């Protein structure tokens, strides 16, 4: 067996320990004589899996009791509709557009009410986070929406916007559990897990209880109502059971690593190694404003498309996978999520140095 260094933006690298444990339990989970994949979601064994996963996530993120944790399906993209359908009581919401995912969420919300753009960084290819200290927040906005870490462009909000008292809703798909968060600052935190937590198929929604009501947009499908899932403990219908089981293992792994404070320190170290190299390189450079750099997704270019392609090809041959940038940006992107070991980043930088020497 040989494992590569996988820099994919998602689905992405998972901790090897977690994969090994899942492999060991594949045929017989904890004496049940079956795989978690084969298990009734109404069984005692699965109830324990989902309860433990929720408890561990609550502990990791210090989630207050007045927030529900929902394990849903449909990816982060289904939340683009679910959020306005459930939260637009006045039919108005304000969006901050810092990349394609925020833009898609905004476009979807327009189907259900009045969605306003109150800030955007589209003028410079989403290479920065706009100043959000004094935004024209709408008086009747039901919420202010952000995409906290921009997976494609590699920017992150280092400071949350001043929402002037309105509910903050955040897509944290690509920075989930990468550092400590103050949950009380948000009404809704959600993310697809395939970036930083687990296998595709699960989306986790952390939502303040007062936002979960029967009063949703007329015609909202049953499966798109938060209340249905909250009342049923995420077991209204068959949940993505195996995915939840893997997420639970990742939560345990994160606790063992020292929790989110320790992860932040590690993530800063890893990103620092890569950004420090980019800042002094004569060949490679980062593509976003330094103050807004993501710790998770690091896009970079040489400025020469052919050289980029040569780099990606040779990197792949050397065991560095999925370094090709998003099709809309080009160049390269190294996603260095929680499960990417510091050795992987060091090895990548050593490879980049060598490539630079050989090709300058």
Ligand X SMILES: *Cc1c(COP(=O)(O)O)cnc(C)c1O
Binding mask 37-76 for ligand X (x = CB under 6 A): --------------------------------------xx
Q: Which is nearer to ligand X, 195 or 229 (CB)?
A: 195
Tokens of 242: 């195996």
Give the nearest residue (CB) to ligand X. 75
Catalytic residue among 56, 94, 142, 171: 171
Note whether 101 binds ligand X by CB under 6 A.
Answer: yes
Beta carbon of residue 120, minimum distance to ligand X (angstroms, whole number): 16
Give the nearer residue to ligand X in terms of CB position, either 188 or 283: 188
Q: Cα 176 vs. chain centroid, distance in angstroms?
A: 5
Cβ-based nearer residue to ligand X, 112 or 176:
176
Alpha carbon distance 204, 181 (integer Å): 15
| Number of other residues whose CB lies within 10 A of the CB of residue 79 | 25
- Minimum CB distance to ligand X smaller for 109 or for 352: 109
Catalytic residue selected from 101, 156, 166, 324:
101
- Output the six-digit token pair for 22: 């899942």
User: Between residues 174 and 302, which has the closer beta carbon with respect to ligand X?
Assistant: 174
Q: Does the footprint of ligand X cover residue 138 (CB under 6 A)?
A: no
Site string for ligand X, 75-94 (x = CB under 6 A): xxx-----------------
CA distance 34 to 281: 53
Among residues 92, 147, 250, 336, the one that binds ligand X under rule CB under 6 A: 147
**Interface with ligand X in residues 207-226 (CB under 6 A):** none
From the CB of residue 159, how many other CB atoms can be counted at a distance below 10 Å? 9
**Measured from the CB atom, is 153 or 311 closer to ligand X?**
153
Site for ligand X in 158-177 (CB under 6 A): 171, 173-174
Is 210 in the active site? no
Which CB atom, from 79 or from 167, has the smaller least distance to ligand X? 79
Cis peptide before 11 (omega within 30 of 0): yes
**Cβ 327 to ligand X, closest distance in Å?**
14
Q: How far is the CB of 192 from ligand X (least distance, A)?
A: 3
253 is annotated as an active-site residue: no
Q: Closest approach of Cβ 259 to ligand X, in Å?
A: 23
Size of the site for ligand X (CB under 6 A): 12
SS3 of the chain: CCCCEECCCCCCCCCHHHHHHHHHCCCCCCCCCCCHHHCCCCCHHHHHHHHHHHHHHHHHHCCCCCEEEEEECCHHHHHHHHHHHHHCCCCEEEEEECCHHHHHHHHHHCCCCEEEEEEECHHHCCCCCCCCCCCCCCCCCCCEEEECEECCCCEECCCCCCCCCCCEEEECCCCCCCCCCCHHHCCEEEEECCCCCCCCCCEEEEEEHHHCCCCCCCCCCHHHCHHHHHHCCCCCCCCCHHHHHHHHHHHHHHHHHCHHHHHHHHHHHHHHHHHHHHHHCCCCEECCCHHHECCCEEEEECCCHHHHHHHHHHHHHCCEECCECCCCCCCEEEECCCCCCHHHHHHHHHHHHHHHHHHC
Closest contact distance (angstroms) between CB of 194 and ligand X is: 6
Residue from 6, 10, 54, 178 binding ligand X (CB under 6 A)? 10
Q: Which of 156, 195, 249, 324 is catalytic?
A: 195
| Minimum CB distance to ligand X, residue 326 (Å) | 10
| Residue 344 interacting with ligand X (CB under 6 A) | no
- Is 101 a catalytic site residue? yes
Residue 11 interacts with ligand X (CB under 6 A): yes or no: no
Q: Which residues pair with 144 in a beta bridge?
A: 94, 168
Q: How far is the CB of 286 from ligand X (least distance, A)?
A: 19
Residue ranges that bind ligand X, judged by CB under 6 A: 10, 75-77, 101, 147, 151, 171, 173-174, 192, 195
Catalytic sites, residue numbers: 101, 171, 195
């Amino acid at each position: 067996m040989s494992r590569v260094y996988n820099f994919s933006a998602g689905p992405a690298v998972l901790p090897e320990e977690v994969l090994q444990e899942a492999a060991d339990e594949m045929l017989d989970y904890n004496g049940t004589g079956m795989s978690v994949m084969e298990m009734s979601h109404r069984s005692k064994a699965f109830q324990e899996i989902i309860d433990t996963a929720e408890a561990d996530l609550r502990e990791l993120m210090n989630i207050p009791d007045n927030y529900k944790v929902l394990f849903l399906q449909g990816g982060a993209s289904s939340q683009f509709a679910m959020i306005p359908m459930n939260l637009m009581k006045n039919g108005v919401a304000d969006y901050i557009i810092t990349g394609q995912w925020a833009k898609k969420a905004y476009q979807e919300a327009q189907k259900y009410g009045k969605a306003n753009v109150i800030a955007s960084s589209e003028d410079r290819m989403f290479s920065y986070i706009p100043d959000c200290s004094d935004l024209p927040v709408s008086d009747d906005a039901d919420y202010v929406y952000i995409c906290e870490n921009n997976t494609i462009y590699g920017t992150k909000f280092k400071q949350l916007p001043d929402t002037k008292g309105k509910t903050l809703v955040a897509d944290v798909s690509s920075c989930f559990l990468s550092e400590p968060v103050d949950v009380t600052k948000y009404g809704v935190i959600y993310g697809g897990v395939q970036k930083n937590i687990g296998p595709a198929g699960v989306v986790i929604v952390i939502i303040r209880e007062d936002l979960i009501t029967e009063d949703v947009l007329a015609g909202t499908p049953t499966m798109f109502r938060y209340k249905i899932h909250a009342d049923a403990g995420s077991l209204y219908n068959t949940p993505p059971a195996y995915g939840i089981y893997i997420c639970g293992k990742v939560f345990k792994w994160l606790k063992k690593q020292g929790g989110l404070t320790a992860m932040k320190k590690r993530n800063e170290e890893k990103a620092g190694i890569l950004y420090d190299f980019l800042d002094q390189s004569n060949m490679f450079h980062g593509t976003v404003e330094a103050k807004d750099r993501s710790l998770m997704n690091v896009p970079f270019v040489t400025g020469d498309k052919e050289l980029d392609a040569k780099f990606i090809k040779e990197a792949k041959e050397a065991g560095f996978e999925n370094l090709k940038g998003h099709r809309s940006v080009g160049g390269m992107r190294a996603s260095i999520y929680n499960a990417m070991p510091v050795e992987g980043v060091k090895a990548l930088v050593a490879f980049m140095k060598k490539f630079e020497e050989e090709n300058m």
